[in-house]
Amino acid sequence: MYATGAAAVIIAAAAVFAGVVRGFDGGLDLVLGALVVLVPAFWVALSLTARRSAGGAVLMGLARYTAAVVGFALLFALRPSSSPGMVLLGSILALLIPPIVLVWQQRPSK
């Protein structure tokens, strides 16, 4: 869950930068794209740490991606003026930053 929190902080900083460069809507689209990915990921992380079962992990993974698909559909249905590029950038950041943070955390200390 530390990686998800770190991703949220980095994405917030990127959204502020995008808001300055592309305007408020650009920053908001970046945040919304990231939330569509991070909220289901955070929910799955909490659910998997609460109970341990191999079959449950597969079902939670399917639920995570289904929730993300529904989130993207809702985002573009409720906010058709969203910039697809900024939404995609936010979701890419949300997908890439947590694994990078985990690798960084697990590197051997010297």
Residues 6+ apart with CB under 8 A from 61: 44
pLDDT of residue 3: 76
What average pLDDT does the chain have?
Answer: 87
Q: How far apart are CA 5 and CA 3, in angstroms?
A: 5
Q: What pLDDT sits at residue 53?
A: 58
What is the tens place of the pLDDT at every residue in 9-56? 899 999 999 999 999 999 999 999 999 998 888 887 777 777 665 567
pLDDT band at residue 1 using 50, 70 and 90 as cut-offs = low
Percent of the chain with pLDDT over 90: 50
